Amino acid sequence: MPNTYTQIHIQFVFAVKYRASLINPEWEERLMKYITGIVQANNHKMIQINTMPDHIHILIGLRTHQSISALIQNVKTESSKWINNQGFLKTKFSWQEGYGAFSYSKSDVPNVIRYIQNQKEHHKKENFLGEYTKFLKAFEIEYEDRYIFHEPE
């Protein structure tokens, strides 16, 4: 689109279905590269990505030609198919329904990059549910506990 200029930075956070710890360090790097490819194929800019065994953080520069929900649906669907086709797990892999999408100004981006890079260290002190709830509160997002990602039973 001529004369359309944007600068939109979004951090996505979403979990493995049932919050199961299925993302293995042996193949997490390949998963991050695959998801980066999906984001880039949709003409968005991957800024930072990192996984934990039960969830993922992705920071992108979002272009306006595609909705957030369409992008995340594509990322989750295609990465699930890829994980299952690779045969990494004995069970079927899928992502949990829903996601968090949090916007940042350009001046916030370096801090968000560091935060995502340091996920493994961060989660030695705080679990995913605590982290996710803090995001919702910090961004003043109204939510109901029954719809939040719960610990696996």
pLDDT per residue over 89-103, tens digit each?
Answer: 999 999 999 999 999
Q: Are 10 and 42 in contact (CB under 8 A)?
A: no
User: What per-residue confidence (pLDDT) applies to 142?
Assistant: 87
Kindly report the CATH number assigned to the domain that includes residue 36.
3.30.70.1290
Residue 103 is assigned to a structural domain of this protein: yes
Q: Which amino acid is at 64?
A: T
Q: Residue 32: which domain range? A: 8-147
Residue 143 is assigned to a structural domain of this protein: yes
Residue 1 is assigned to a structural domain of this protein: no
Q: H or E element: which one contains 49?
A: strand 45-51
Residue 25 is assigned to a structural domain of this protein: yes
What's the total number of domains in the chain?
A: 1
62-84 pLDDT per residue, tens: 999 999 999 999 999 999 999 99
pTM of the full predicted structure?
0.89
Residue 95 is assigned to a structural domain of this protein: yes
Residue 152 is assigned to a structural domain of this protein: no
Residue 153 is assigned to a structural domain of this protein: no
User: What per-residue confidence (pLDDT) applies to 145?
Assistant: 75
